[in-house]
Amino acid sequence: MDAYTSFAEVYDGFMDNIPYKEWADYVEDLLREQGIEDGLVLELGCGTGSLTELLAAKGYDMIGVDNSGDMLQIAMEKREESGSDILYLLQDMREFELYGTVRAVVSICDSMNYITEYEDLVQVFRLVNNYLDPEGVLIFDLNTEYKYSRILGDSTIAESREDKSFIWDNHYDGETGINEYDLTLFIRQEGNLYRRFDETHYQRAYSTEEIFRAVAEAGLELVAMYDAFSREPVREESERVYVIARERGKERMR
């Protein structure tokens, strides 16, 4: 789970191809379809707060949880600039604690894939169920096994820009479902000097059956699973899926 340390300071620069506004619109539509039009919403794995800020601008009272202090520092700088009233908490999503319940929990940009143990995924969902209002909603996305094995696979991705560049060396293990990528960053400092940073990230692909089972074990009720950014069923070639689950009564967890 330890990642995004040296990468945090340039994360937004490399992620400028992510259409966060469209993602936020899609999440808002899903929330509204489930009757969540306002109130407290928790984002797990909020990172630098890009989506958190957009949802706050849509009228939700946002809480952001992330286990990277470097990423949260950037999120808080954005909060200062926007004047939004977002509460950020430095916590591991496997052990997060809140002061009360929330109407919804969201987790976007494959944050759940960073939970590499099935038992830990169930624990995250149990905590979510515990902190959801009655009939509250969980919405999260996941990269699929198809994306890891067929799109990323054993490949190397490189990108160079004027003040920064990176090399992404990817490896996917089909037996364990673990996707490992070694990230090497070169960040321009003063003059023509570049500083090198190295990070290794691990994500796990979960099958549809594992997702269904984990949601049920946590006491949540599965509402829907979509091919990302649509209302279509998950396809064999789906690269990202969205899952919607609902709190169905804390007593059923006992």
What residue type is 66 in one-letter code?
Answer: D
Give the whole-angstrom CA distance, residue 51 versus residue 19.
10
pLDDT confidence band for 250 (50 / 70 / 90): low
Other residues' Cβ atoms within 10 Å of the Cβ of residue 24: 21
Q: Are 241 and 222 in contact (CB under 8 A)?
A: no
Give yes or no for residue 117 having a pLDDT over 90: yes
pLDDT of residue 252: 44
227-237 pLDDT, tens digit each? 999 999 999 99
26-39 pLDDT, tens digit each? 999 999 999 999 99
- More confidently predicted of 70 and 239: 239
- More confidently predicted of 192 and 227: 227
141-165 pLDDT, tens digit each? 999 999 999 999 999 999 888 788 8
Mean pLDDT confidence for 194-220 = 94
pLDDT of residue 165: 86
pLDDT confidence band for 195 (50 / 70 / 90): confident
Give the whole-angstrom CA distance, residue 82 versus residue 64.
15
Sheet arrangement for strand 132-143: 87-90, 61-66, 40-44, 102-107, 132-143, 240-247, 220-227
Tokens standing for residue 81: 């600039």
Domains, the chain, ordered by start: 6-143+207-253 (3.40.50.150), 146-204 (2.20.25.110)
Poorest-pLDDT segment among 70-79, 116-125, 213-222: 70-79
Give the whole-angstrom CA distance, residue 96 versus residue 111.
14
Give yes or no for residue 4 having a pLDDT over 60: no
Give yes or no for residue 254 having a pLDDT over 50: no
Mean pLDDT confidence for 100-117 = 97
Give the whole-angstrom CA distance, residue 201 versus residue 180.
6
11-27 pLDDT, tens digit each? 556 666 789 999 999 99
Q: What rounded mean pLDDT belongs to the chain?
A: 92
Give yes or no for residue 7 having a pLDDT over 90: no
